[in-house]
């Protein structure tokens, strides 16, 4: 499928590979440098540092070329499939809230606005679903607005998805939305009223999310019933 990401995915992949190499290389350099310090071999220590500078230069150049947005998206293996579908990776040892905080800070600095409603960000910082660290790297592909699923009750949407698809957890949908916004500047849920910055509200496991001028936030089920036409559903899809 065509990609609409606002950064170069091939450079992002190159950056991820170099990151892995640099991590291992820097550990070796650190070990060698420490031994030189212990033995007082300052000449060799200087040579090690000079060698390390040359070795890491291509990585540093690529990092500058990608910029803050590109580095962030590369870190989480982001690929935007279409206007409402995104592929990404949650690395081992990473919590959902740490990704959300990082994305929110980046958007504040880049766009001068909150990506996530401050009240909900504060609430999620105390929510175990968001603060739990990922035990093993997890690759997810989420359709944030399944076509044909609008204007239905939750029960009807579950039946619409059938056995082939299921809704993502609320914490994963929040991450998917945030990564998509960083990459494209558009809501994963798509606009319901664009000129007023009001997205569709999207159901998931554990609740529903929507986006407005104050940022991403949760929506109560009772309120969704009053605006059914603007309520859609999300789904986990195969990343392959």
Residue 115 has pLDDT above 90, yes or no: yes
Residue 4 has pLDDT above 70, yes or no: no
Give the residue, 103 or 53, on which the prediction is more confident. Answer: 103
Calculate mean pLDDT across residues 131-157: 95
Residue 132 has pLDDT above 90, yes or no: yes
For the chain, report the end-to-end CA distance as a whole number of angstroms: 11
Residue 1 has pLDDT above 60, yes or no: no
pLDDT of residue 2: 35
User: What global pTM score does this model have?
Assistant: 0.82
For the chain, what is the largest distance between any 2 Cα atoms, rounded to a whole number of angstroms?
74
Banded model confidence at residue 239, pLDDT cuts 50, 70, 90: low
Give the residue, 240 or 68, on which the prediction is more confident. Answer: 68
User: In 3D, which of 102, 134, 137, 127 has the Cα closest to residue 116?
Assistant: 102
Calculate mean pLDDT across residues 65-70: 83
Buried b (16+ CB within 10 A) or exposed e, 172-208: bbbbbbbbbbbbeebbbbbebeeeeebbbbbbbebbb
pLDDT of residue 7: 60
Averaged pLDDT score across all residues of the chain: 88
Lowest mean pLDDT among 98-102, 109-113, 172-176: 109-113
pLDDT in tens, 167-217: 999 999 999 999 999 999 999 999 999 888 899 999 999 999 999 999 999
């Amino acid at each position: 499928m065509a990609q609409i990401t606002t950064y170069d995915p091939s450079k992002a992949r190159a950056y991820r590979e170099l990151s892995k190499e640099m991590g291992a290389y820097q550990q070796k350099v650190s070990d060698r440098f420490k031994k030189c310090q212990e033995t007082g071999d300052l000449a060799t220590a200087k040579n090690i540092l000079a060698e390390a500078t040359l070795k890491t230069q291509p990585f540093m150049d690529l990092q500058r070329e990608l910029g803050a947005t590109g580095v962030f998206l590369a870190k989480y293996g982001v690929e935007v499939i279409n206007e409402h579908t995104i592929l990404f990776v949650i690395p081992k040892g990473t919590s959902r809230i740490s990704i959300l905080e990082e994305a929110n800070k980046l958007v504040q600095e880049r766009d001068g606005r909150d990506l996530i409603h401050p009240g909900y960000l504060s609430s999620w910082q105390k929510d175990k679903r968001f603060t739990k660290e990922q035990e093993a790297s997890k690759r997810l592909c989420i359709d944030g607005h399944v076509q044909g699923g609008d204007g239905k009750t939750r029960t009807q949407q579950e039946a619409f998805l059938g056995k082939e698809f299921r809704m993502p957890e609320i914490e994963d949908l929040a991450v998917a939305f945030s990564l998509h916004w960083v990459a494209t500047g558009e809501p994963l849920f798509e606009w319901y009223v664009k000129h007023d910055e009001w997205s569709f509200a999207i159901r998931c496991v554990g609740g529903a999310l929507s986006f407005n001028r104050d940022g991403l936030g949760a929506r109560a089920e009772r309120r969704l019933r009053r605006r059914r036409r603007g309520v859609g559903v999300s789904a986990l899809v195969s990343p392959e």
